[in-house]
Amino acid sequence: MATFVILAVVLALAALAWATTPLWRQAPVPGAVAVATMAVLAGALYLAVGNPDALDPANRRPPETLPEAIAGLEAALERDPRQPEGWRLLARAYAAEARMVDARDAFSKAVELAPDDADLLAEAAESRALAQPDRRFDDAAVDMLQRALQVQPMHQRSRWFLGIAQRQRGQHAQAAATWSPLLGAVDASTAGPLREQIDLARAQAGLPPLPAAATPVPGQAPGPGVTVSVSLDPQLVMRLPEGATVFVIARQPDGSPMPVAVERLPVSALPTVVTLDDRDSLMPTLKLSELDTVELVARISASGDATPRPGDFTSVPVRARPGTDARAALLIDQVVR
């Protein structure tokens, strides 16, 4: 720190001497006094409004405890409050200390700055429920979840939380409808318990349980489908995230973004050929074979979530008519922005 101060003084004097050359050439003594006076005044001003302690390396060490990290985030956000990621980090830190009301308020500030971030909206809604003694999602939390689903219709966490909020309000049929699209987007170990929750909600709404998942009968065709060849652009191979998942999706053209059929594969399976048919349908109320035309897309997801996220790889959508000999080819060569 002493070396820095000496160098700073020398540089300041040199700069001032150069800037006042006409003065000290005409009157050397008054010029030298003026240069020295200006240097002293500049130093005094820095000591008054600057932060000399910041020059000490000991004061620049990373925080070692959570309270230190919280204090640093609070100070940074006081200086510049327009940082949604800063508010999100502060909210998570508050939650780690079980300060749920503070976490709720910090998440709310983050949402004000980033109102179209589905992940943030889901976190903020959850924090509002956790801040309540009865763990209920209030109206503001429900609005956040509905906004998240407007941004990403298949955002899994938001769908799950919204279904819970609807159950809390006695809206059991709506909860079942909210959860049902998730059946085709989760793995088998999750789909079983999820189906049980959907059937329970339907029972409380006076509705029958979902039809049993279709089991192929040997020798019996599953109905019209589409055979899809899926390949990956070689230019993207080196950029594949480890453990990524491939989704091959069929949906209604110009209709609901909800898939009518999905196959989920490990990225190591590429290139591959899959057949989408009624066995891959998500909801018993809408099967692939009932559509005249389907829109097909293949997506590689690093998160394992069928909802597209920035950085995922995807193909250009292709339309096809389901049938015995229906075929389509998808090349994954785009990056989701």
31-40, 66-75, 217-226, 239-248: lowest mean pLDDT where? 31-40
Mean pLDDT of the region 113-128: 95
Percentage of the chain with pLDDT > 90? 34
Q: Please give the backbone phi and psi of residue 171, each rounded to the nearest 5 degrees, phi first.
A: -95, 70
Q: Does residue 67 fall inside a structural domain?
A: no
Max mean pLDDT among 41-45, 152-156, 175-179 falls in: 175-179
Return the exposure string of 153-184: e unless at least 16 CB atoms fall within 10 Å of the residue's CB, then b. Answer: ebbbbbbbbbbbbbbeeebbebbbbbbbbbbb
> Is residue 8 predicted with pLDDT exceeding 60?
no
Strand 226-232 with 327-335, pairing = parallel
Task: Identify the H or E element spanning 214.
Answer: none
- pTM for the model stands at 0.57
> Is residue 296 predicted with pLDDT exceeding 80?
yes
Task: Identify the H or E element spanning 20.
Answer: none
> Is residue 258 predicted with pLDDT exceeding 90?
no
Q: How many angstroms from the chain centroid is the CA of residue 55?
A: 37
CB count in 10 Å sphere of residue 37: 11
Q: Does residue 284 fall inside a structural domain?
A: yes
Q: Does residue 301 fall inside a structural domain?
A: yes
Query: How much is the mean pLDDT over the chain?
Result: 80
Q: Does residue 253 fall inside a structural domain?
A: yes
> Is residue 115 predicted with pLDDT exceeding 90?
yes
Q: Does residue 166 fall inside a structural domain?
A: no
Q: Does residue 18 fall inside a structural domain?
A: yes
129-138, 168-177, 296-305: lowest mean pLDDT where? 296-305
Task: Note down the domain range covering 7.
Answer: 2-57
13-22, 87-96, 149-158: lowest mean pLDDT where? 13-22
Q: Does residue 322 fall inside a structural domain?
A: yes
Which letter does DSSP use for residue 269 in this model?
A: G
Q: What is the pLDDT of residue 178?
A: 87
Residue of 16 and 69 predicted with greater confidence? 69
Q: Does residue 26 fall inside a structural domain?
A: yes
Evaluate whether 165 touches 137 at the Cβ level (below 8 Å).
yes
Total of domains in the chain: 2
Residue with tokens 């709404």, as numbered in its chain: 205
What is the C-alpha separation between 3 and 8, in angstroms, rounded?
8
Residue of 44 and 256 predicted with greater confidence? 256
Mean pLDDT of the region 16-31: 56
Evaluate whether 331 touches 233 at the Cβ level (below 8 Å).
yes
pLDDT tens sequence across 188-217: 677 788 888 988 999 999 988 877 655 544
What is the C-alpha separation between 174 and 168, in angstroms, rounded?
11
